[in-house]
Structure 1
């Protein structure tokens, strides 16, 4: 299965990617990724239902909006296969540029898409198509960013370098949430619902241009360049992944589930529930989320450092156990009746998101050899999203109706337990040599 394409070894005189350039290029893509995704998630909780779906009931519109949110997660594994193929065959740099471009174009087009009142049934159809395209681009984004960071990392620093893309979600979340908060404070409800919600989608085009500028200046990663020089590329990485590396792919996906569940239950679902059931104003709850995500940003470098110092598994085991316990806090804290209790719950969940998410930037790439690493890391990351995030807000909405918030907390604990079991089945990868993984 070895490729017959001969590519010369890297010229040692070529410029090497600096740490600052690697950090910026890997960070900015995931920041834009989470900005784009959370812009839609916030809009889904606030306005997507009434704008794009027929008026039946408020609940039905909210459920339809959350289902459209999940479409992109279903597309992400396909994006993993598509961009992973080219990432493992052609190179990390060019594939990252393509995935970012597709993601940004789809996000921007959502910002100019007419609503149901203007074009009828075409509105939800086109919305779902753009969400699918957004998911395809996102499917290739994180894996490439993580490889860009880890394949440029010096020995013993892969967890720290792998942190760069993991910091993106905190910044992307703050940017999206802060922008929606600003709009909520400066626009009337009517203005926000008519056109204000579109502004964050349109601003994505500016962010994508910045990201493209940074990534076009990159050199190919040395690990991939050396693999090309040794003729180690395979014709169809996806086939080799499924035939030889299906176990680490599934275990990696299982390990990712808790990250998604913590993030989207504590943000998307909690935002919707806080406004509709707890009586918070939109701007107040968005402000609480902006406060809480700071704890995720603080946990990320701490957890990445610990994963280099003590190993990926110990950090993830501790985070998984704490995440299981955190599910039992959801009902008492959210129904306590005080704002500080809500802030405490959101801060705990997002702190644990940072703890469990940070080591993944190094762990998932370390599970696969160079020839299928882009495909494998992307597939594991995005398959975990199907279980942990795609329908999480939808199911949480149903669980609340069936049994209350304690059932939603049980969903978080179950997701954390699944991830904990997957981590326990994985081998420790901290000392693995990326150039020698077979």
Structure 2
């Protein structure tokens, strides 16, 4: 299944490079774009749940925090690479030529990591947890039904966490380029390089957060500590990030992205252990993507308030803090899935 999803995800993402412009075909241009993006999201939706389940089921619990963090870092690695590619293409073509046709080259390059992922998937084996279920004929045909029936509160709390965290992510890493170009007047070509640097630093946040999770006592407590640290530093980091100094902007946003990435580090293991193996992939994917839908409005909401002459500092800080509180509430309401106090095997929920 993951082989199929990554193949079509890559094809439809790269196909955006071939879409005619509005002057060429009129209203059909955005219509085709929306269809292509819908199909990209449709196939990408299976990636997180399936990939998380596969990775976390394949390792023992004491290593799952770091392995999950490594899986989660895939987004940051991708964002880092595409930022560098954007910087390189914009520098090569120039801003005018890039906006005219260079962006097509950017989208076309997305087929390259897709091919690499496809090759890796072809040589990847299913986890022992899943193959044992296949042998025992216990694979759910309609996992969504039992998931909703058995763990409605677990799903609700998971969505609170993912909605809050992904909303924060949309209001930070996805919003940084807009802030730099529109509000900080940073040169267009420099933005790509700055975002690449911020993402590079955030990757260390994911990996370090994953490594520290066991020493801090468990998945839930780690997420709580990281989330509270992010909440406390939100306003001062946004304040310094709006100082109109390139160094201050990159430094403040890098620190914020680093702490935010630490929260993401434990999420894959936490979600995977939270749900039964009978519907784990579905539950993890459903929770993550449901949160992602809510988060997709983050930058739009901020810009709407700013358009009505609200202070960017106050609006931005308030929205990020509100989303952080929702995330923290979800963490508090959830139960611990694995702790360093547990036996390394007998209390492992991944096999349940």
TM class, shorter-chain normalised? Answer: over 0.9
The whole-number CA distance in structure 2 between the counterparts of 1:355 and 1:331 is: 18
Asked whether the equivalents of residues 65 and 214 of structure 2 are also in contact (C-alpha less than 8 Å), the reply is yes
Distance in structure 2 (CA, Å) of the matches to 1:279 and 1:347: 18
Partner of residue 352 from structure 1, selected from 252, 256, 259: 259
CA contact (8 A) 2:186 2:246 kept: no
1: distance between equivalents of 2:289 and 2:326?
16
- Structure 2 match to 1:399: 305
- Matched residue of 1:322: which SS? helix
Find the partner of 2:337 among 413, 424, 429: 429
Structure 1 range deviating more: 267-276 or 404-413: 267-276
**Is contact 2:234-2:321 (8 Å) kept?**
yes
- Which 5+ residue runs of structure 2 have no aligned equivalent? none
Matched, 1:304 2:210: yes
Deviations 1:366-388 (CA, angstroms, capped at 9, x unpaired):
1111110010010111111122x
Of 8, 12, 17 in structure 2, the residue corresponding to residue 102 of structure 1 is: 8
* 1:55-110 Cα deviation digits (max 9, x unpaired): xxxxxxxxxxxxxxxxxxxxxxxxxxxxxxxxxxxxxxxx1111111211110110
Deviations 1:26-62 (A, max 9, x none): xxxxxxxxxxxxxxxxxxxxxxxxxxxxxxxxxxxxx
Q: Deviations over 1:345-366 (max 9, x none)?
A: 2112211221110101101111
1:124 paired with 2:30, answer yes
- CA distance in 2 between partners of 1:201 and 1:279 (Å): 26
Whether contact under 8 Å (1:256, 1:357) holds in the other structure is no
> Which consecutive segments of 4 or more residues in structure 1 shift more than 3 A?
none
Return the alpha-carbon distance in structure 1 between the equivalents of residues 70 and 238 of structure 2. Answer: 34
Residue 341 in structure 1 maps to residue 240 in structure 2:
no
Q: Which residue of 1 aligns with 2:223?
A: 316
Match of 1:194 in 2: 100
Q: Deviations over 1:380-434 (max 9, x none)?
A: 11111122x2111111211222312211111111111100010011111115524
Distance across 1 between alignment mates of 2:163 and 2:101: 35
Distance 1:305 1:166 in 2: 13
Does the alignment pair 1:380 with 2:283? no
User: Partner of 1:231: helix, strand, or coil?
Assistant: coil
- How do 1:58-77 and structure 2 match up within 5 A? none
Normalised to the residue count of structure 2, the TM-score between the two structures is: 0.93
Quick check: 1:222 aligned with 2:128? yes
C-alpha contact 2:167 2:296 (8 A) present in aligned 1: no
Q: Please give the secondary structure, in 2, of the residue aligned with 1:107.
A: helix
How does the TM-score come out when normalised to structure 1?
0.75
Where do 5+ consecutive residues of structure 1 fail to align? 1-94
1:84 aligns with none
Which residue of 317, 320, 327 maps to 1:409?
A: 317
Whole-angstrom distance in 2 between the partners of 1:316 and 1:331: 21
Q: 1:96 to 1:408 in 2, by over 3 A?
A: same
The CA distance in 1 between the partners of 2:214 and 2:6, in whole Å, is 29
Aligned to 2:137: 231
What's the C-alpha RMSD, in Å, of the aligned pairs?
Answer: 1.6
Deviation at 1:435, TM superposition (A): 5.0
Q: Structure 1 residue 214: deviation in Å?
A: 0.8
CA drift of 1:235 comes to 2.7
Partners in 2 of 1:101 and 1:315 — Cα distance? 35
Q: Identify the residue that residue 66 of structure 1 maps to in structure 2.
A: none
